[in-house]
Every structure is written in C-alpha cells, then in structure tokens.
C-alpha cells in the first residue's frame, strides 16, 4: 500500500527538532565506535570504557524526571536551546582530554543534555499527532534523530582513522552550532505561551508507575535498552575483535575492527531512519500488537544465532537482522507510550519510559564490557532473546483487549 500524502512527511516542527537532536548525537555515536575499539587513544582500560559508556545513561535515572519538571516549568523552547549549547562542552572534553575523571563528567553532562533533547522531540512529535498518525510521527522523530547516529558511527569511525578523532569531534561540534542557529529561528514553539501547551502536566514519577500499562511498557523499554542500545552497541567492537581480530576480510573487502564496527552500528541507525517510519506506519495500519510479536521473533532469532559460527559473513547477516528487527520492535512501543500518555501526563509518561530504557542501556555496557568475559558474550546475546520474548508476551497479554 502506498503512503497517503498525510503520512508521507512528518510535520515541519517534528522534522526541524529531530534533525537538531541528530546533530547533537554525532559525537556520542562516534564514541561508541572508537572508544571500545581503540581505548588506548585516551589511555584508558576496557573496564573504564564500560563505565564511561554506561555513565551517561545511569545519570538519566535522575535527569529524565528532572527534564520533565524543566519542560513543565520553562516550556520546550528554552530548555531545548540550553541543552544543544551545553552539548558542545561535551565534545570538547571528548577531543582534548584523556583524564578519566573529566571524561566521566562529560558523559554525565551529555546524559543530562540528552534527557531534555529527547523529551522535547518526543513531546513535539506527540503534540503534532492524532490517533491516525501518532505511530508514524513518533517513529519519524526517532528515525530522523538517528541520522546523527549514522553520521557519528559511520563517518566518525572512518574519519578518525584518517584525520584523527580530535578533528572529527571538532567538525561535529560545528554542525551542532549550525543546528542550534537554525532551530532557534525556525521553531514554531518559540512564541507559544508555556501554559498553552503544558497545562495539566503531572510529574509524580512513582505515582505513574502504579499504572500497570506504564510499568509494563517501561519494563519492555528497559529490556530493549539493555539488549540493543546497551549490550549490542557497546560490546560489538570488542566481540568482533575477539572473534575475528583487528583486521579481516568480508566478501574480499578488507576491514579494520573500527571501520566494521562503525559500519554495523551505522546500519543500525540507517535502519532507524528508513525502517523506522515504515514500522510506525504498519503499526498505525495493521495493529501495534501484531507487528510487536513479529518484531520480537525476528530479533530473537538473530540474537540466538549471531555467535553460532566463526563465519564473518553469517555474523554480519545476523547482526543486520537484529538491528533491523529491533527498530521495528522499538517503533511499536512508542505509540503505546503516547496512547497511555494522553490519559495521564505526556511529559511525565515519556520521562518514565525513557528512564527505564536508559537504565537498561546503562546496564548493557557494564555487563558486556566490565562484568562478563569476552568468551561468554555469545551466550549473553542468546539469553537476552529470552528476556525480550517474555516481556513482549506480558505486554501483549495486558493490551490484547484494547489494541489489535
């Protein structure tokens, strides 16, 4: 079925906000490629890498609820601007210090920036939607943001090999400044009174968790964050290096572990850009729960088989299956969050969901890099598939009579 005109493009406020967040995400995405593969550039250990890649997510347990309060207090325009500008200091730290303490502080600062940037983009996407296109608009928001992940993972990994990681971070900083200049002048929320679009918002985090719908959706988000955003993304370079070495060939093409990791994480983000809107569309068109079940089955097959052989081609095929189907899986949860949020508090419910997902994402690098031996990574991937299936089945059971 061909997309209707209404669904072909997200609203302009969604597009401009999402692309600004994408620019701010470039440096973070690059760090996930370069740091696990080349920790010696910062004179740190792989154990310290696991801590750094988890820190920005752990801090969101506090900054996500705080960002909900900030948005309610100051609106969406000013906090978004502040966070974009603050993210520049993080890139400076990535580029020009090898102090573990300063790098840790930079990761904590980025976690705070990301809490607000993501919440505002989700809030605007939901605000610009109705029941017929909420899946598409939220998926488009997430997909456009991931352009930053593509640029950071793919170009960051390659450029760091040729021009150095310091200059690459500087280029990404310049793009963030450009995005700030564009957004501050183009946003339609610039002159909106705060009370007009935030009236009635509630932010009692613990009270919202008493709602079983919110709790189950959030737990599912935690599982996806743990397995895909955390474990797979952070440990992929280390897993590939231990399995295939620092240099290897795929279909007669030579790869370094850094370039290959960047390519695969770039594909993950590429999938969010192009598969994401499709996932949102089929969610609106054919039903959230049906697509949810199909997505978790495909993801689990890939996780079960990714470490089954020593063939780099087979491993690559399984990784592409995992990342593409995980995008479909994530895009089915976002509309469920929005539906529940309309009955409670938009910024509050999104904040709860984001916090759970971030907590899972924070645990992933710690488990995959700092706590588990490399030889057990394949078994860890396989065990993760079971966790995803259990939580999705619970979610389907909870919503089966209200959604099809």
Q: Residue 256 pairs with which residues in a beta bridge?
A: 247
Return the axis-axis angle of helices 46-58 and 12-37, rounded to nearest 10°: 160
pLDDT of residue 278: 83
Helix ranges, 287-376 (H):
288-305, 312-342, 346-365
Please compute the mean of the pLDDT values over residues 150-173 and round it to a whole number.
86
Q: Residue 250 pairs with which residues in a beta bridge?
A: 253
Choose the most confident range, by mean pLDDT, from 147-161, 341-355, 368-382.
147-161
pLDDT tier, 84 (very low <50, low <70, confident <90, very high otherwise)? very high
- Burial class for 89, CB neighbours closer than 10 Å (0-12, 13-18, 19+): middle
pLDDT at 160 over 80: yes
Please compute the mean of the pLDDT values over residues 138-167 and round it to a whole number.
85
Percent of the chain scoring above 70 in pLDDT: 90
pLDDT of residue 361: 78
Question: What would the pLDDT profile of 257-287 be if each residue is shown by its tens digit?
Answer: 888 887 887 787 777 777 878 888 887 777 7
pLDDT of residue 173: 92
Question: What would the pLDDT profile of 358-373 be if each residue is shown by its tens digit?
Answer: 888 778 777 766 656 6
Question: What would the pLDDT profile of 199-245 be if each residue is shown by its tens digit?
Answer: 555 556 677 778 888 888 888 888 888 888 778 887 888 788 888 88
Q: Residue 109 domain-assigned? A: yes
* Rg, Å, the chain Cα set: 20
Question: What would the pLDDT profile of 273-331 be if each residue is shown by its tens digit?
Answer: 778 788 888 877 777 788 888 888 999 999 888 878 888 899 899 999 998 888 888 88
Between CA 244 and CA 206 the distance in angstroms is: 46
Between CA 294 and CA 301 the distance in angstroms is: 11
pLDDT tier, 402 (very low <50, low <70, confident <90, very high otherwise)? low
The better pLDDT of the pair 242, 17 is held by: 17
Q: Residue 249 domain-assigned? A: yes
Question: What would the pLDDT profile of 182-211 be if each residue is shown by its tens digit?
Answer: 998 888 887 665 554 555 555 566 777 788
Q: Residue 4 domain-assigned? A: no
> Which residues have a Cβ under 8 Å from the Cβ of 70 and sit 6 or more positions away?
79, 116
Q: Residue 224 domain-assigned? A: yes
Q: Residue 80 domain-assigned? A: yes
Between CA 339 and CA 352 the distance in angstroms is: 14
Q: Residue 197 domain-assigned? A: no
Q: Residue 194 domain-assigned? A: no
Q: Residue 381 pairs with which residues in a beta bridge?
A: none
Average pLDDT, the chain: 83
pTM of the complete model: 0.73
Helix ranges, 75-210 (H):
77-96, 100-127, 134-150, 156-162, 165-186, 194-198, 205-209
Question: What would the pLDDT profile of 21-58 be if each residue is shown by its tens digit?
Answer: 999 999 998 998 888 878 888 998 888 988 898 788 78
Which run of H or of E encompasses 235?
helix 233-244
Between CA 394 and CA 65 the distance in angstroms is: 26
pLDDT of residue 372: 64
pLDDT tier, 3 (very low <50, low <70, confident <90, very high otherwise)? very low
- Number of domains comprising the chain: 1
Where in the sequence is the domain holding 337, given as residue range(s)?
Answer: 11-187+202-399
CATH number for 72 = 1.20.1250.20
Strands (E), 195-292: 247-250, 253-256
pLDDT of residue 2: 38
pLDDT at 60 over 70: yes
Q: Residue 143 domain-assigned? A: yes
């Amino acid at each position: 079925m061909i997309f209707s005109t209404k669904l072909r493009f997200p609203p302009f406020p969604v597009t401009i906000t999402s692309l600004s967040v994408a620019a701010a995400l470039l440096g973070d995405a690059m760090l996930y490629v370069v740091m696990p593969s080349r920790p010696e550039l910062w004179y740190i250990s792989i154990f310290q890498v696991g801590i750094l890649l988890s820190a920005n997510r752990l801090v969101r347990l506090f900054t996500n609820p705080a960002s909900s309060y900030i948005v309610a207090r100051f609106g969406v325009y000013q906090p978004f601007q502040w966070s974009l500008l603050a993210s520049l200091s993080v890139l400076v730290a990535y580029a020009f210090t090898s102090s573990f303490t300063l790098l840790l502080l930079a990761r904590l600062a980025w976690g705070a920036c990301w809490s607000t940037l993501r919440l505002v983009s989700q809030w605007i996407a939901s605000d610009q939607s109705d029941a017929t296109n909420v899946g598409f608009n939220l998926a488009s928001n997430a997909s456009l943001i991931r352009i930053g992940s593509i640029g950071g993972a793919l170009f960051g990994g390659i450029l760091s090999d040729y021009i150095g990681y310091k200059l690459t971070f500087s280029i990404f900083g310049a793009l963030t400044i450009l995005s700030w200049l564009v957004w501050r002048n183009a946003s339609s929320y610039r002159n909106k009174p705060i009370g007009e679009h935030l009236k009635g918002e509630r932010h009692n985090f613990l009270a919202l968790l008493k709602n079983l719908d919110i709790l189950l959706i959030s737990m599912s988000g935690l599982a996806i964050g743990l397995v895909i955003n955390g474990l797979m993304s952070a440990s992929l370079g280390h897993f590939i290096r231990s399995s295939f070495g620092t240099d290897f060939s795929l279909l007669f093409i030579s790869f370094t572990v850094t370039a290959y990791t960047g390519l695969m994480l770039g594909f993950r983000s590429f999938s969010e850009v192009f598969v994401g809107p499709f996932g949102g569309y089929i969610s609106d068109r054919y039903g959230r729960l049906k697509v949810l079940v199909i997505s978790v089955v495909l993801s689990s097959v890939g996780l079960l088989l990714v470490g089954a052989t020593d063939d780099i081609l087979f491993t690559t095929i399984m990784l592409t299956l995992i990342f593409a189907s995980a995008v479909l899986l994530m895009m089915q949860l976002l509309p469920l969050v929005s539906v529940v949020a309309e009955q409670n508090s938009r910024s509050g419910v999104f904040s709860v969901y984001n916090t759970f997902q971030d907590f899972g994402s924070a645990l992933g690098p710690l488990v995959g890099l700092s706590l588990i031996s490399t030889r057990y990574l394949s078994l860890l991937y396989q065990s993760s598939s079971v966790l995803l299936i259990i939580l999705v089945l619970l979610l389907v059971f909870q919503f089966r009579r209200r959604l099809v």
